[in-house]
Chains A and B, each alone.
Chain A
Amino acid sequence: MNKLLKAILLLCATLLPTSGYATTVTDLSVESPKNGDGLTLDISWNISVEGEHADAVLVVRSKDGESWEQTGDIIAISDSAAYEHSDRLDVPGTWSYKVVLLNADSPEDLDLLLAQARTSSVVSGEPVGKWINTNQGHIALMCLILLVGWLMLHYTKRAMSGDEIYIRKMPGIDAIEEGIGRATEMGKPVLYVPGIDDLQDIQTIASMLILGQVSKTVAEYQSDLIVSCCIPIVREVADEVVRAGFFQAGHPDAFDPTSVRFISSEQFAFCAGTNGIIHREKPATNIYFGRFFAESLILAETGYVNRSIQIAGTAEATQLPFFVAACDYTLIGEELFAVSAYLSRDPRLVSSLKASDMIKVACVAAMIIGTILASLDNDILVNLFTISG
């Protein structure tokens, strides 16, 4: 019955005169993006307005050319202009598109609308999926990563053959062992906070690598370690890392499973819980390595009040001033990623620092050359390092 009613309505609608607005859609085109994923099509068209015009347009698509569906939001129009819409498809293949002109009287039912409203001609297109992003910025970045990888392997080879690689002295990292020693002498624990971000963040990963070295040193000194975690999966990994550190130091029996604690996954609840640990258990040394946000200063100031030695490291530029103000030692940005190599003195890891330094020299050179070229109206280097698409 509903179908019959709909058919009658459709018939009536087709017999009715179309609205009298003088808006036309021209140059409708469909094309696959340059570095498309095989499920995206870019639709573009021009709207030409003369006198009374349509209020909005709607893009519809069809896989078989018969049943149409709306794609994207209704686009309001007021003047002659070029429009575009990026359409995300569910399945690959050839898709047909047309643009429907809408005004205030347009019916809400799409079938009725398509029968009654003015539409553009139908154009079709097929998305093409690319297996490599050929954007200049992507290629440049890929080359940079390959170069870092090659340099790392090159310096590793040199280090393994006996070449000595110099690392500058970093007081912040040296202070870790001093801090653990102090905690041992005072008979108080060491508190380690690996930031509040998830495990996929590179700062958390770096923090876990440092935790391995820290737990080994704590075990060697036969001191106590408390690890305060904000994310459950980070706690699980930290638990394994600390266990491995104690095992490696030859004291697997000294590992306390309750020393690696999940506090809360809520930022300030975690902050309150960790502050509680600082106040109650009075750790002699607090180590904050990882990604921190607003809780950084609350934790560091509480530690300061507790008179703990505090060592912090983060690549989060907004939190660095807080750590600098409240901690005894602060590792800035890249230094956080160097801690593990510095502590282990493993030539394979130290060589990776050398590789990073070489790339840094290249970056500085690129910046100087880029500044000169940009001042001479030449954007070649700017475009080379622009990531888009």
Chain B
Amino acid sequence: MKRTVPLIISFIVGLVMVGEFFIPHYKYRAVTSELLEWGLILAAGAFILGLVNLVQVNLPVVIQKKEDWGYKLVMLITLVVTLLIGIYSGTGRQDDGEHYKWLFDYMFVPLNATMFALLAFYIASAAFRAFRARNLEATLLLAAAILVMLARVPIGEAIPVVGDYLPKVMNWIMDVPNIAGRRAIFIGAALGAVSTGLRVILGLERSHLGGE
């Protein structure tokens, strides 16, 4: 019973949602919209459970003063402060001059940008490893990367004779082998997605329910 009911629900809801793509009638769309709204309500409700989980995981660490408990304390204080200010500011919380907006603009946005900016250094270190010419494939990757990078910067065009051809070579690399590879991945992934979706809808895949 514990497995049969979810399987029946998966089958019916999955079939109805797949049908949305093939049945344009507004009465049918009303049913699928309703189902999607239920999903949204469930997802919104899960935020409360997420909040409970955050406290459940981090509060005991702070109380027992386990390793790195200070970070958890900062996180919990930030959580409570943001939550209270958000509730206090109400619907106008995103207006200029509001504390919530201030928190967002001067705390969240710079921190977010900092994390994103770190990506540049991570790319540099990953590229250093990936572009080492250890074998034929890595050497090809290195050559393609050098050509594309050179063609994208002004110094590439300034190289005598070669500079005129670099953009054409770059365009060929990006438009032919690159696109061909990406399309192969897309087609394979799309078929894999259809097959996974059908496995779940038809109830062949049950590992998420605890298997046999």
Chain A residues with a Cβ under 8 A of chain B = 35-39, 92, 129-133, 138, 141-142, 144-145, 148-149, 152-153, 156, 198-200, 202-203, 205-206, 208-209, 211-213, 216, 231-233, 235-237, 240-241, 244-245, 247-248, 257-258, 260-262, 265-269, 271-272, 276, 280, 294, 297-298, 300-301, 315, 317, 320-322, 324-326, 332-338, 340-341, 344, 348-349, 352-353, 355-356, 359-360, 363
Contact = CB atoms under 8 A, between A and B. Distances in A.
B176 to A, nearest CB: 14
A37 B46 contact: no
Contact of A258 (B57, B122, B125): B57
Contacts of B171: none
B196 interface: yes
B116 A268 contact: yes
Instruction: Choose among B24, B129, B205 the residue with the greatest number of A CB atoms under 10 Å from its CB.
Output: B24
A205 B125 CA distance: 32
A276 B108 CA distance: 18
Q: Main secondary structure on chain B at its contact with chain A?
A: helix
- Among A202, A247, A260, residue most surrounded by chain B Cβ atoms (within 10 Å): A202
10 contacts: A38-B27, A202-B197, A209-B200, A276-B71, A294-B116, A301-B125, A334-B192, A337-B196, A349-B199, A356-B191
Nearest to B68: A280
A160 B50 CA distance: 42
B202 to A, nearest CB: 7
Contact of A131 (B23, B123, B208): B23
A321 B131 CA distance: 11
A38 B126 CA distance: 53
A205 B191 contact: no
A268 B112 contact: yes
A68 B197 CA distance: 47
B56 interface: yes
A86 to B, nearest CB: 14
B40 to A, nearest CB: 10
Contacts of A231: 43, 46
A202 B24 CA distance: 23
A133 B22 contact: yes
Interface in B111-160: 111-112, 115-116, 118-119, 122-123, 125-127, 129-130
Contacts of B54: 261-262
Given A138-B21, A356-B194, 10 more contacts: A145-B198, A148-B198, A198-B43, A202-B193, A209-B208, A212-B211, A216-B211, A241-B207, A276-B71, A338-B192
B77 to A, nearest CB: 15
B192 A356 contact: yes
Given A262-B54, A294-B116, A337-B193, A325 B126 contact: yes
Contact of B195 (A152, A267, A333): A152
Interface stretch (B93-101, B161-169, B181-189): B181-189
A132 B205 contact: no
Contact of B189 (A36, A208, A334): A334
A363 B184 CA distance: 11
B210 A247 contact: yes
Contacts of B42: 233
Task: Identify which of A206, A241, A267, A325 gathers the most chain B CB atoms within 10 Å of its CB.
Answer: A325
